[in-house]
Amino acid sequence: MEFLLENILNLIGFLVGLAIGIMSIIGFRNTGSPTLFRLTIAFFSISIGFFVIWVGYMLEDFVIKSGSIERWIQTLGIIIQTVGYFFIAFSHSIKSFFPKSRQFRSIGIFPLFLVSSVQIEHVFRSVSFILLAYGAIETMLSYFENRNRGAISVAVGLALLALGEFLGWYSFVFPESILYSVSISIKIGGLIALFIPVSKIPLTKIKFDEDIE
């Protein structure tokens, strides 16, 4: 039952990410916004990551039948999703990637050394969590400075994605629990929260009055 649920949730994640990616690329074509271009890459990457994992579940269900998804397929999907998370965090909190304090830079790099001895999948989950949590914090700080309501939805979305990645990593500690399904559900919720500001982009090209010189 849990295997089927995880299969369905990964398919939903793929479709949600794909839909937001399509919205982003339409907005980019109509506005030429570099931010929307980065978001297009981000959401398509996340969508492809979900798709790769979903394909892994389908292969296991109908071809391999070993009882669990191939580890390398899941790792590949997570790596692709991490690329997407980087572009999302970069789009919404570009200043956070260039902190002035050397001590603050070391704090961001330190967790990578803590996970360097474990599987590469855990490393990329840790990277994803750092990017998303850092982006969520920076976005909330931006909201307090500018009072832009759209920043709240972005911060919530990034925070949910970060929580989803954390629970996804923790599910390896309790592999038989429902934590992995909860992780995917939370990540889908995060994508939907990020969809709110993206949905406000123009769906038609911006036209200017020809009489205005």
Query: What is the pLDDT, as a whole number, of residue 109?
Result: 45
Answer yes or no: is 203 within a domain. Answer: no
How many whole angstroms separate alpha carbon 8 and alpha carbon 11?
5
How many whole angstroms separate alpha carbon 73 and alpha carbon 167?
19
Answer yes or no: is 204 within a domain. Answer: no
pLDDT tens-place string over residues 166-179: 888 777 666 667 88
**What is the DSSP code (8-state) at residue 116?**
T
Query: What is the pLDDT, as a whole number, of residue 202?
Result: 58
Query: What is the pLDDT, as a whole number, of residue 93?
Result: 53
pLDDT tens-place string over residues 31-60: 888 888 888 999 999 999 999 999 998 888
Query: What is the pLDDT, as a whole number, of residue 44?
Result: 95
Most confident of 104-113, 134-143, 202-211: 134-143
Number of domains in the chain: 1
8 Å CB contact between 47 and 18: yes
32 or 182, which is more confident? Answer: 182
Domain that holds residue 83: 2-198
User: Which two structure tokens, joined as six digits, stand for 3?
Assistant: 């295997």
Residue 116 CB neighbour total at 10 angstroms: 11
- Nearest CA to 35 out of 83, 82, 87, 81 is that of 87
CATH number reported for the structural domain that contains residue 34 in this entry: 1.20.1070
Answer yes or no: is 51 within a domain. Answer: yes
CA distances from 168 to 31, 78, 96, 147 (A): 36, 10, 25, 32
How many whole angstroms separate alpha carbon 179 and alpha carbon 49?
19
Query: What is the pLDDT, as a whole number, of residue 206?
Result: 42
Give residues with Cβ within 8 angstroms of 135, minimum separation 6: 88, 89, 92, 93, 96, 158
Query: What is the pLDDT, as a whole number, of residue 209?
Result: 38
